[in-house]
């Protein structure tokens, strides 16, 4: 297999990866970007952009609800959910092709396929080996797998953005931003929405006062919010799904048409063969310095720079969640952050 040489090889063609191509090309570097799925990644294809189409509809329903405040009489709105999903898909369908054109114009070689390390400075994609002076890991994130019996019954945001049937009831396991945003959209359509959060606060990382206001508004539109909940299992029941959970010392059950994994996302780095690249990682995250440069284990073969957007800084490594067994790898030695 011959090895092709590039100044920069980017793993992942999402916002982060595409963001690197401009400055790198302006600096006169040759750039290859490897993308295994749709160019543009999560945000335009299955994240921010399609979600905003649904949120905009939810917002319109909110404005209609408030019309009487402005002395405007309106009838009961009727939402065609299937048509809304079609509109959402229609609005985003051209994005990957448009991005491909702009990458071609920028003279970035876009390679379709799954990338993984085959050496410290070698990336393998299909039957091609690419050698790079600089490697950018921009492989994004994926829904956090939940170790709950019956977790396979849960859907993720990808399915919520695609299913043309409007559910009459939804339970979100996890109370992060995705649950809140989709929960509000569903509640506006009249669906029965429950959010089960393991920690004492919804949106645990955000400001307590702001979250309290959000929770009040969520409850006002009919969303049931339960915090400090331990979800025990998810099981089929009566053609629906039942979530069994503990709350305030007692066991409870709730049923819904859909149960959504809203427990956040984890770095998408487990199939990159980080060990082959001597890339130091811990708890499912890549270890980086303050400038997002990786740390090498001591088998590093030659100086190079790798930058990661799927990272943990060395300072928060000790507070990272428990490492699942399949992610644990031995890290042979420590080195100070690389400054190649
Ligand atoms: C439902 C939802 C709604 C969101 N809404 C918002 C919002 O309103 N505002 C906001 O700011 N953010 C939002 N986000 C977050 C936003 O989408 C992400 O922050 C952003 O997409 C991250 O960009 P990225 O380039 O790092 O990763 P991604 O966009 O995920 O791109 C990574 C790319 O790498 C590819 N890839 C992965 N592994 C490999 C491999 N081994 N080889 C080749 N390619 C690979 C993937 O296919 C993917 O295309 C939302 C996310 C979701 C899921």
DSSP annotation string for 85-97:
HHHHHHHHTTHHH
Q: Closest Cα to atom 11, ligand 1: which residue? A: 48
159 and 126 share one domain: no
Give 134 Cα–ligand 1 centroid separation in angstroms.
21
- How far is it, in rounded angstroms, from Cα 170 to Cα 195? 9
10 and 129 share one domain: yes
Contacts by residues 298-302 (CB-CB < 8 Å, ≥ 24 positions apart):
298/332, 298/333, 298/335, 299/120, 299/332, 300/120, 301/119, 301/120, 301/121, 302/120, 302/121
| Element (DSSP H or E) covering residue 24 | helix 15-26
- How far is it, in rounded angstroms, from Cα 174 to Cα 197? 5
What pLDDT is stored for residue 141 in this prediction?
A: 96
- Block mean pLDDT (10 aa), the chain, length 340: 92 98 98 98 98 97 96 96 98 98 98 97 97 98 95 97 96 96 96 97 94 97 97 96 97 97 95 96 91 76 59 42 35 35
The domain tally of the chain equals 2
The token pair at 179 is 């649950």
What pLDDT is stored for residue 314 in this prediction?
A: 43
Name the residue of 41, 141, 177, 270 whose CB sits within 8 Å of the most ligand 1 atoms, as the mutation to test its pocket. 41
Examine the fold and report which residue of 263, 287, 308 is the final residue of a domain before the chain moves on. Answer: 263
- How far is it, in rounded angstroms, from Cα 245 to Cα 256? 14
135 and 15 share one domain: yes
CB atoms within 10 A of CB 251: 10
Q: Decide if 187 is inside a domain.
A: yes
Name the residue of 140, 141, 174 whose CB sits within 8 Å of the most ligand 1 atoms, as the mutation to test its pocket. 140
Q: What is the CATH number of the domain that holds 178?
A: 3.50.50.60
256 and 188 share one domain: yes
The token pair at 240 is 């629906």
Residue 250 phi/psi, 5° resolution? -125, 160
What number of CA atoms fall less than 13 Å from residue 55's CA on the CB side? 12
Give 260 Cα–ligand 1 centroid separation in angstroms.
19
- How far is it, in rounded angstroms, from Cα 167 to Cα 255? 12
138 and 277 share one domain: yes
124 and 165 share one domain: no
- How far is it, in rounded angstroms, from Cα 326 to Cα 242? 29
308 lines ligand 1 (CB under 6 A): no
Give 96 Cα–ligand 1 centroid separation in angstroms.
13
135 and 159 share one domain: no
The token pair at 116 is 């993984």
202 and 318 share one domain: no
Give 43 Cα–ligand 1 centroid separation in angstroms.
5
132 and 280 share one domain: yes
Q: Decide if 197 is inside a domain.
A: yes
Q: Which atom of ligand 1 is nearest to the CA of 310?
A: 26
Domain holding 243, by residue range, is 151-263
284 lines ligand 1 (CB under 6 A): no
4 lines ligand 1 (CB under 6 A): no
Examine the fold and report which residue of 205, 232, 263 is the final residue of a domain before the chain moves on. Answer: 263
Give 46 Cα–ligand 1 centroid separation in angstroms.
8
Q: Decide if 58 is inside a domain.
A: no
Q: Decide if 63 is inside a domain.
A: no
The token pair at 89 is 């898909």
What pLDDT is stored for residue 297 in this prediction?
A: 73
What pLDDT is stored for residue 96 in this prediction?
A: 98
47 lines ligand 1 (CB under 6 A): yes
Under a CB-based contact definition with an 8 Å cutoff, are residues 46 and 96 in contact? no
Q: What is the dihedral of CA 52, 57, 63, 67, to 10 degrees?
A: 170
17 lines ligand 1 (CB under 6 A): yes
283 and 135 share one domain: yes
What pLDDT is stored for residue 310 in this prediction?
A: 55
163 and 302 share one domain: no
Under a CB-based contact definition with an 8 Å cutoff, are residues 160 and 84 in contact? no
What pLDDT is stored for residue 283 in this prediction?
A: 87
What pLDDT is stored for residue 315 in this prediction?
A: 42
What pLDDT is stored for residue 337 in this prediction?
A: 36
Q: Decide if 85 is inside a domain.
A: no
35 lines ligand 1 (CB under 6 A): yes
Q: Which atom of ligand 1 is nearest to the CA of 17?
A: 25
Name the residue of 9, 16, 42, 277 whose CB sits within 8 Å of the most ligand 1 atoms, as the mutation to test its pocket. 42
161 and 96 share one domain: no
Q: Decide if 249 is inside a domain.
A: yes
Q: Decide if 53 is inside a domain.
A: no
Give 203 Cα–ligand 1 centroid separation in angstroms.
20
Q: Burial code of 215-239, b = ≥16 C-beta within 10 A, e = fewer?
A: beebeeeebebbbebebbebeeeee
Task: Name residues whose C-beta falls within 8 Å of residue 6's C-beta, 6 or more positions apart in sequence.
Answer: 29, 30, 31, 32, 109, 130, 131, 132, 133
Q: Decide if 333 is inside a domain.
A: yes
- How far is it, in rounded angstroms, from Cα 233 to Cα 235? 7
Q: Which atom of ligand 1 is nearest to the CA of 115?
A: 42
Q: Closest Cα to atom 27, ligand 1: which residue? A: 140
What global pTM score does this model have? 0.87
Examine the fold and report which residue of 263, 290, 316 is the final residue of a domain before the chain moves on. Answer: 263
Q: Which atom of ligand 1 is nearest to the CA of 158?
A: 1
The token pair at 215 is 């929770």
39 lines ligand 1 (CB under 6 A): no
- Which of 166, 157, 192 has its CA nearest to residue 78? 166
């Amino acid at each position: 297999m011959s090895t092709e040489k590039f100044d920069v090889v980017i793993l992942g063609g999402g916002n982060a990866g595409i963001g690197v191509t401009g400055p790198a090309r302006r600096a006169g570097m040759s750039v290859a970007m490897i993308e295994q799925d749709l160019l543009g990644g999560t945000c335009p294809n299955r994240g921010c952009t399609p979600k905003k189409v649904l949120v905009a509809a939810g917002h319109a329903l909110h404005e209609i609800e408030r019309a009487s405040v402005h002395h405007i009489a309106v009838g009961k709105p009727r939402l065609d959910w299937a048509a809304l999903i079609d509109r959402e898909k229609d609005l985003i369908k051209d994005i990957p092709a448009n991005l491909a054109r702009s990458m071609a114009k920028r003279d970035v070689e876009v390679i379709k396929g799954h990338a993984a390390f085959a050496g410290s400075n070698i990336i393998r994609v299909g039957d091609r080996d690419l050698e790079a002076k600089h490697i950018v890991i921009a492989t994004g994130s994926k829904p956090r797998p939940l170790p709950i019996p019956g977790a396979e019954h849960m859907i993720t945001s990808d399915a919520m953005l695609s299913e043309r049937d409007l559910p009459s009831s939804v339970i979100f396991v996890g109370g992060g931003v995705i649950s809140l945003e989709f929960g509000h959209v569903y509640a506006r359509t009249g669906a029965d929405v429950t959010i089960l959060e393991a920690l004492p606060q919804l949106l645990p990382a955000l400001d307590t006062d702001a979250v309290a206001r959000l929770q009040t508004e969520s409850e006002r539109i009919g969303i049931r919010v339960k915090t400090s909940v331990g979800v025990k299992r998810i099981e089929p029941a009566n053609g629906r799904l039942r979530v069994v959970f503990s709350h305030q010392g007692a066991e409870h059950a709730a049923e819904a048409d859909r149960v959504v994994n809203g427990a956040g996302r984890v770095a998408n780095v487990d199939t990159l063969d980080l060990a082959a690249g001597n890339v130091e990682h811990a708890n499912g995250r890549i270890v980086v310095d303050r400038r997002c440069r990786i740390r090498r284990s001591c088998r590093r073969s030659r100086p190079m720079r790798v930058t990661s957007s799927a990272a943990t800084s060395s300072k928060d490594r000790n507070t990272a969640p428990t490492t699942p067994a399949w992610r644990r790898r031995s890290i042979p030695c420590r080195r100070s952050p690389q400054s190649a």
